[in-house]
Amino acid sequence: MSSTSILHSQTRKMVSQTQEPNRRKEEEQSSRKWSLQDFDIGKPLGKGKFGRVYLAREKKSKYMVALKVIFKEQIEKYGLHNQLRREMEIQSSLSHPNVLRLFGWFHDGQRIFLILEYAHRGELYRELRKSGHLSEEQAATYFASLTRALAYCHNQYVIHRDIKPENLLLDFEGRLKIADFGWSVQSRSKRHTMCGTLDYLAPEMVENRAHDYAVDNWTLGVLCYEFLLGVPPFEAESQTDTFKRIMKVDLSFPPTSHVSAEAKNLINLLLVKDSTKRLSLQKIMKHPWIIKNANPTGTCMD
């Protein structure tokens, strides 16, 4: 059995455990399955709000993973127990090439450990900042992967609600992986909580109105703009000004930018105030900009 399949067979057990009705029992079982002794810990990969992420290797299979360490004290202090549970349940139930896998979790006295798929090339954000903006081919390839991943999530009734370059990771072949399901929600009805990151918020969230899957479609429009121009479309000096620009859909392309007419057309079809009129994920995949520019393998090398 390969190292991948060893970890995956463990994962399958954990995923099926999460579907059992008795949560406490399930938690006990998953914590019995893994412990810190099962891993060699390597370099830090990043810092989150409530802990750190480390490169780690499962000792038996030598399989490389990312271990996200979260301090229980912090979770209790901010009352985030339910949010974390939701992040873990949602992410472990999803399995798609463009969604970062959560293989399992365990805990000790002070910490909770999430065993995550390792994304070798880290944040897409870093790539974007390094080069200022992406080429149309790169942008369309990432964008198509993201759209496919969101279509999969929406099919499972999951709305991510916090899609931004920092939460998009890249594997060793430059394949995009959606990470960080901290704000996601699994729901068939409209939601009311205002969340997510300012620049990427849809007008209905800014205005605190009920929202649904279409918030992710809006964010796709914002990201497409940022991929191609290096800055999000409604950036402003203050939060209030960003809110105002979002509500007015104050969208413009600097005259000096070299964005193709097809890309502009796609962005205009997504950044639509009326959430019911935004281009659907299925139609995005058939848009000429995607057809012309996206690499069908979904990989992007430097």
Which of residues 261 and 301 has its CB atom nearest to ligand ATP in the complex?
Answer: 301
Candidate residues 7, 56, 66, 158; the one interacting with ligand ATP per rule CB under 6 A: 66
Residue 58 contacts which entry, ligand ATP, Mg ion, none (Cβ below 5-8 A, type-dependent): none
Candidate residues 33, 42, 46, 80; the one interacting with ligand ATP per rule CB under 6 A: 46
Which of residues 54 and 289 has its CB atom nearest to ligand ATP in the complex?
Answer: 54
Q: How many CB atoms lie under 10 A from the CB of residue 213?
A: 22
Which of residues 180 and 216 has its CB atom nearest to Mg ion in the complex?
Answer: 180
Single out the segment in contact with ligand ATP by CB under 6 A; choices: 10-18, 178-186, 254-262, 286-294: 178-186
Residue 182 contacts ligand ATP per CB under 6 A? yes
Q: How far is the CB of 272 from ligand ATP (least distance, A)?
A: 28
| First-residue to last-residue Cα distance in the chain | 33
Candidate residues 180, 199, 204, 216; the one interacting with Mg ion per rule CB under 5 A: 180
Q: How far is the CB of 114 from ligand ATP (least distance, A)?
A: 8
Is residue 115 within 8 Å of residue 62, measured between CB atoms?
no
Residue 215 contacts which entry, Mg ion, ligand ATP, none (Cβ below 5-8 A, type-dependent): none
Is residue 195 within 8 Å of residue 162, measured between CB atoms?
yes
Which of residues 127 and 180 has its CB atom nearest to Mg ion in the complex?
Answer: 180
Active site residues: 162
Site string for ligand ATP, 86-115 (x = CB under 6 A): --------------x---------------
Single out the segment in contact with Mg ion by CB under 5 A; choices: 55-63, 167-175, 204-212, 232-240: 167-175
Which residues of the shown chain bind ligand ATP in the complex (CB under 6 A)?
Answer: 45-50, 53, 66, 68, 100, 116-119, 122-123, 166-167, 169, 179-180, 182
Which residues of the shown chain bind Mg ion in the complex (CB under 5 A)?
Answer: 167, 180
